[in-house]
Structure 1
Amino acid sequence: MKSTIPAVLLLVITIVSSATAENWPSWRGPENQGISSEKNLPTQWSADKNIAWRLPMPGAAGSTPVVWDDHIFLTSVADDDLILMCVGTDGVERWRRKLGSGNRDVRGDEGNSAAPSPSTDGKHVWAFFSNGSLACFDFEGNEVWQIDVQEKYGKFDIQFGLTSTPVLHKDKIYLQLIHSGGAKVVAIDKATGKKAWVTDRTSDARQECEHSYASPIVYDGKEAKFLLTHGADYSIAYDLETGNEIWRVGGLHPPGRYDVTLRFVSSPVAKDGMVVVPSAKRGITAAVKTTGKGNITDKKDLYYWTFEITPDVPSPLIVDDLVYLCRENGNLIALEKESGKQLYEERTNRIRHRASPVYADGKIYLTGRDGMVTVVQAGREFKVLAQNEVGEAIAASPVISNGKIYLRTFDALWAIGNE
C-alpha cells in the first residue's frame, strides 16, 4: 500500500490543479466577458522578471491567442502569408499552417490581415483572416475544412479590412460581415463549414458608418439567448437557430449632425440580464435589458441607463456591481451597474489603448499600445497596483489560463508567471 501513496497524492494534486485551472477559448475568455476565475496571478513583471518564456513571432498581429490545456493557438502574418500557429504552454512551437497570402497592413502600424482571433472547443480550432479565409483544424494541425467567405457571401467593401472575430457557440460559428457591400450575418456549421443560415443585416447607416470592426457575442442566459451583432449604427440581436431578428437598439450617435466616420470598433458585453453597448468617438454607451423585442431604441423601459462617454476601441467590462470603460486614451471609468452613476474617471497610462480590459482575482489588467500593462484594483475606489513593461508594442488583449498571463506583442508571445 505504501508504494501507491505517491500515485494517489499525485492524482489528488492533478485533480485539484485541473479544478482551479481555466481554459481561454475565445478572445474575451470563457464566457466572452473578459473575466477569469483564476487566482494567485502575477501582479508585477518586466522583461526579465516573472517571465516563464518568450517566443519570437514570425510577424505582427493584433489578434488575441486562445488556450486549451497545453495548447496555445494564435494567428499571425509571416512575410505575405497568413498563418495559424500552435504553441505549447512550454513555449515551443508545435506547428503552423498557411491559410492564404496577401497580407494588408492598415493605418500605419495599427493592424494587418491577422487581426481576428481564433476560437477553440478543445478538439478543433477555427481561424479567420480579413481576406475571407476561414478554416477548421484539429489539434494536430490537420485541416478539417476551409472556405473563402468572400466567395460565398460577397466581396468585402470596408476601409481597413474585415477584422471582426467570429464567435463560436455549441455547433455553430457566427460571423458578422458588416460593410458597404451588403451586410450579412452568417451561421456556419462548425464541423463542416456549410451554411446553417444567412440573414441580411439592414440599417439606415451610410458612408463609413456602414463599416464595423467590432465582433459579435453570444448571450446564453436564463431569460434570453441570442447572437448580438454590432455595427452600422445598431446593435442587433438574432435568434441563434434561425437568424431571425429579435431586437435592435440604435440612437448611439451623438445628438446633432450625423457623423459619417463613426464606425464601431469596441464590442458589446452581456452579463446577468444586461448588455453594455458602446459606440465610437463622441458617441454614448447604453446599458439595455436582454429581454427586448423589436426596435427598442426609444423604449426607455428597456434601458438601465445611458452614459455620455464611450470607450471607442476597448470593449466594456462588467464585474459584480460595476461597469468599467477603458477609454482609448487609457483613462478608466467605473460606473454603478444598476444606475450608471459614475464613481470615477482616472488616468492610467496615457497612450493609445487597443486591447480590451481583462479581470481576474480582484484585479483589472489594462494594456497600452506601448506594451505597458496597468494593474488596477477592482472596486469603487481607484488604485493602481502596478505598471509593467516588456518593451514591445501590443494590440492584443491579455489571456489568462493555467496560472499564466499570456501577452501577444507584435514581436513575440510572452508567458508571465510567478517565479
Structure 2
Amino acid sequence: MNQQTWQIGSIVSMGCRSLGCFIGIGLGIGLGLWAMSPGYSQSQWPGFRGDGSGITQSDVPTRWSVDQGIAWSVDLPGYGQSAPVCWHDAVYVTSSDGPFQEQQHVHAFDLPTGKRRWTKPIDASMKVENYFRNSRAAPTCVVDESGVYSFFPSGDVTAMTHAGDVRWTMPLIQQESGGQIDNERGVASSLAQTASHVFVLVDHHGPSYLVALNKSDGQVAWKADRGDRLPSWSSPVIAHRGHRDLVITSSADTVDAYDAVTGESLWQLDGLQGNHIPSASVVGDRIFVGSTTMYGGATDENATAGANCCIELTTDDGKPGYRVRWRAERANSYYSTPLAFAGYVYYVNKVGVLYCIDQETGQQRFAKRIGNPCWASAVGVTNSAGESLVYFVLKNGFTVVLRPGDQYDQVARNRLWDREAMMEAKAAAEQQRSANLVPADQAKPKTGPEKVFAGMPERQLHQMFSYDDPTVYGVAVAGNRLLIRTGQRLYCVGPAEPISKP
C-alpha cells in the first residue's frame, strides 16, 4: 500500500458541548477533551459516537467505491459489534471468541496504515454464550491520554496504556451482581467517561444500576441503584451544566440524570416507551431521545414515536432540571442513536426509513426510505469549506451522504464491498459460529422473548431478523478518515487508493 500523508486539519470551536458515550467539544487535548465544545482534535474519536454527539469536523471523502477510496482494511479475529475509537494515530476495537466468549481481546491499529500494533487478551470472569442474537463484544471502549478502557459482556472493565499494558481489571458484574444478569441478549451498553471516571450502565430483569469507576484504579466511586428494570442495551452520555457534569441515561422507559461526581439522582422523566436500544444524544443543553418498537417490549408505534423527543436541560434555584420541548409524531429509531446536527434531527427505523425532524420544533421535514436500516449511528461532519454533511452507514455496507435541509438532498451513495467480498464474509461468519457452537448440555435455557425461538434453525432465525453477515455495527471519524466496523473486519475510508490488507 502506498503511504499516505497524514494531516490533522485545523480545529474549530463550535460552541456547543456534550459527552455521552461522549461528546467531545471544542478543541480537546488531554483531560480537557470532554469539557469543551464539539470540534475536538480531528484525530480523536474518544468513545461511542465520538463524544456522544456524533458530530465532528473533518474532510472525510464523500465518494468511494470497492476499488477506490478505501485506504486499508484488516481482518479482526473472532467477532465483535463494538464501534472503533481513536486517539491521535491509534485505532482501538474489541472482539470475542470461544463458545462462551472466554477469549476477549482489545486490538490496536495504526490509523494511517492499518498495521496491527498489538492485541491483548482479557480474561472473562463470567461465561456469556456466543450466540448470534447475543451481545458479542458489543460495548464500545473509551480512550483518553492515559490509554484505553474496555468493557465486555462478561462484565469485565479493563484499563490499558496506549502500549497495551494492563493497568487494572475490574470484574464488575461478578462484584456488583454476583454474576447474575437476566437480560436475554446480554450486556451491550458502551462506556461513558469524564476526566476522572468511566461509567457503566446495567439494566436488566433484576437489580439494575449505574456505576462510576475511578480511572486511576478501577475502584467503584459510586453506585446508583435503579431497581428492577426491563432489559436495555443503551449507553450513558455526559452532559454539562456550568461546572457540573451530569450522567444522562435514556433506558428502560425513563430518562434519568445523575451527578457525575456523587451519583446523586437529580431528575427522572418517566412514561416513555421503547428507549431500550438507541442511546440519547446530548448537544449543548438539549437531549435527543431515541426509541423503537421491539419484540416483547414497546409495540405501540404512536407511543414509541412520542418517546423520540427533545428534552431541554434547565436550572431552577441552582438545581438541575428539565423540560420536554417536543415529541415526534411519526419518527421512530431502531438500533442507531438519533443525530442532531445542522438544525435537524435524524432517525432511521427498522425498515430503513429516514425521518428528518426540525431540531427546534419537532416537526417532520421529510421521510425517505434509504434502502436498509442503520445499526451504526449516523455522523454529522463539517468540512474545511464549511459544508455540513451527514453520513448514514447502512447495515449492508452502503453509505448515504446527505446535505442537511428540508428536502432529501443526496450527495452520494457509496459501496463498501462487492458480491465476492460479501460471500467471503458470510462464509467466515458461518465458520466462526460453527466453531463456537455451545454444547447442548452446557447451553442455558432461553428466557423471555428468546424462549419463543429456542430450537428454531439458525438459518431461519437469520432470515427472520436480518442478522446475516457482513453487517456494519459501528463507525468512527478521525483525521480525514471514516472507520467502518463489521463483525469480522475493520475498513478505513480515506484519500482514494487501492485497498490494502495488511
SS at match of 1:290: strand
Distance apart, 1:60 and its partner CA:
2.0
Distance apart, 1:381 and its partner CA:
2.0
4+ residue stretches of structure 1 with deviation over 4 A? 13-20
Distance apart, 1:389 and its partner CA:
1.9
Mapping of 1:72-91 within 5 angstroms?
A: 72-79=91-98, 80=101, 81-89=103-111, 90-91=113-114
Tell me the TM-score normalized by structure 1.
Answer: 0.86
CA spacing shift, 1:111–1:158, aligned 2, 3 Å: closer
Mapping of 1:275-294 within 5 angstroms?
A: 275-281=287-293, 282=301, 283=304, 284=306, 285-291=308-314
SS at match of 2:314: coil
CA distance in structure 2 between the partners assigned to 1:416 and 1:379 by the alignment: 25
Is 1:243 the counterpart of 2:263? The answer is yes
Ranges in structure 2 where 5+ consecutive residues have no aligned partner: 1-5, 13-40, 294-300, 383-387, 423-469, 497-502
* Conservation of the 8 A alpha-carbon contact between 1:224 and 1:291: no
CA distance in structure 2 between the partners assigned to 1:18 and 1:263 by the alignment: 34
Tell me which amino acid in the other structure corresponds to 1:306.
R
CA spacing shift, 1:263–1:225, aligned 2, 3 Å: closer
Tell me which amino acid in the other structure corresponds to 1:33.
S
CA distance in structure 1 between the partners assigned to 2:65 and 2:241 by the alignment: 39
CA distance in structure 1 between the partners assigned to 2:231 and 2:379 by the alignment: 26
Q: Which residue of 2 aligns with 1:4?
A: none
Give the count of matched residue pairs: 383
The CA deviation string for residues 30-54 of structure 1, in whole angstroms up to 9 with x for no partner, is x310011113x21111222101111
Q: Which residue of 2 aligns with 1:225?
A: 245
Is 1:44 the counterpart of 2:63? The answer is yes
Match of 1:378 among 404, 428, 431: 404
CA distance in structure 2 between the partners assigned to 1:305 and 1:222 by the alignment: 24
Q: CA RMSD in A?
A: 2.2
Is 1:164 the counterpart of 2:164? The answer is no
Distance apart, 1:386 and its partner CA:
1.6
CA spacing shift, 1:50–1:189, aligned 2, 3 Å: same
Q: Which has the higher contact order (CA 8 A, sep 6+)?
A: 2
CA distance in structure 2 between the partners assigned to 1:245 and 1:158 by the alignment: 24
Ranges in structure 1 where 5+ consecutive residues have no aligned partner: 1-12, 254-261, 294-298
Q: Which residue of 2 aligns with 1:331?
A: 353
Is 1:127 the counterpart of 2:150? The answer is yes
Which moved further from structure 2: 112-121 or 223-232? 223-232
Is 1:304 the counterpart of 2:315? The answer is no
The CA deviation string for residues 100-133 of structure 1, in whole angstroms up to 9 with x for no partner, is 3555334x4x553300011100221000001111
* Conservation of the 8 A alpha-carbon contact between 1:230 and 1:267: yes
Match of 2:235 among 199, 210, 215: 215
Tell me the TM-score normalized by structure 2.
Answer: 0.72
CA spacing shift, 1:184–1:15, aligned 2, 3 Å: closer
SS at match of 2:173: helix
CA spacing shift, 1:192–1:113, aligned 2, 3 Å: same
The CA deviation string for residues 201-256 of structure 1, in whole angstroms up to 9 with x for no partner, is 147x5xxxx11110000012439631011222111110111111111112213xxx
Q: Which residue of 1 aligns with 2:272?
A: 252
The CA deviation string for residues 18-70 of structure 1, in whole angstroms up to 9 with x for no partner, is 887331011111x310011113x211112221011111111221100101111
* Conservation of the 8 A alpha-carbon contact between 2:42 and 2:56: no
CA spacing shift, 1:129–1:46, aligned 2, 3 Å: same
CA distance in structure 2 between the partners assigned to 1:377 and 1:230 by the alignment: 28
Q: Which residue of 2 aligns with 1:259?
A: none
CA distance in structure 2 between the partners assigned to 1:103 and 1:202 by the alignment: 23
SS at match of 1:374: strand
CA spacing shift, 1:408–1:226, aligned 2, 3 Å: same
* Conservation of the 8 A alpha-carbon contact between 1:363 and 1:376: yes
* Conservation of the 8 A alpha-carbon contact between 1:355 and 1:397: yes
SS at match of 1:64: coil
Q: Which residue of 2 aligns with 1:3?
A: none
Tell me which amino acid in the other structure corresponds to 1:354.
W
Match of 1:118 among 141, 151, 154: 141
Tell me which amino acid in the other structure corresponds to 1:364.
V
SS at match of 2:199: strand
Tell me which amino acid in the other structure corresponds to 1:405.
L
* Conservation of the 8 A alpha-carbon contact between 1:223 and 1:291: no
Match of 2:284 among 248, 272, 278: 272
CA spacing shift, 1:42–1:14, aligned 2, 3 Å: closer
Tell me which amino acid in the other structure corresponds to 1:321.
G
CA distance in structure 2 between the partners assigned to 1:214 and 1:364 by the alignment: 22
* Conservation of the 8 A alpha-carbon contact between 2:366 and 2:408: yes
Q: Which residue of 1 aligns with 2:426?
A: none
CA distance in structure 2 between the partners assigned to 1:241 and 1:38 by the alignment: 33
Distance apart, 1:278 and its partner CA:
2.0
* Conservation of the 8 A alpha-carbon contact between 1:22 and 1:37: no
CA distance in structure 1 between the partners assigned to 2:367 and 2:7 by the alignment: 43
Mapping of 1:301-380 within 5 angstroms?
A: 302-308=323-329, 309-349=331-371, 351-361=372-382, 362-380=388-406
* Conservation of the 8 A alpha-carbon contact between 1:317 and 1:324: yes
Distance apart, 1:352 and its partner CA:
3.2
Q: Which residue of 1 aligns with 2:478?
A: 401
Tell me which amino acid in the other structure corresponds to 2:129.
R
CA spacing shift, 1:14–1:263, aligned 2, 3 Å: closer
CA distance in structure 2 between the partners assigned to 1:47 and 1:211 by the alignment: 39
Tell me which amino acid in the other structure corresponds to 2:201.
Q
Q: Which residue of 2 aligns with 1:9?
A: none
Tell me which amino acid in the other structure corresponds to 1:43.
T
Distance apart, 1:358 and its partner CA:
0.8
CA spacing shift, 1:92–1:232, aligned 2, 3 Å: same
CA distance in structure 2 between the partners assigned to 1:383 and 1:410 by the alignment: 30
Q: Which residue of 1 aligns with 2:81?
A: 62
Q: Which residue of 2 aligns with 1:388?
A: 414
* Conservation of the 8 A alpha-carbon contact between 1:246 and 1:292: no
The CA deviation string for residues 136-175 of structure 1, in whole angstroms up to 9 with x for no partner, is 0001111000011112110222110010001011100011
Match of 1:98 among 113, 121, 131: 121
Distance apart, 1:327 and its partner CA:
1.8
CA distance in structure 2 between the partners assigned to 1:84 and 1:137 by the alignment: 9
Q: Which residue of 2 aligns with 1:5?
A: none
Match of 1:25 among 46, 49, 53: 46
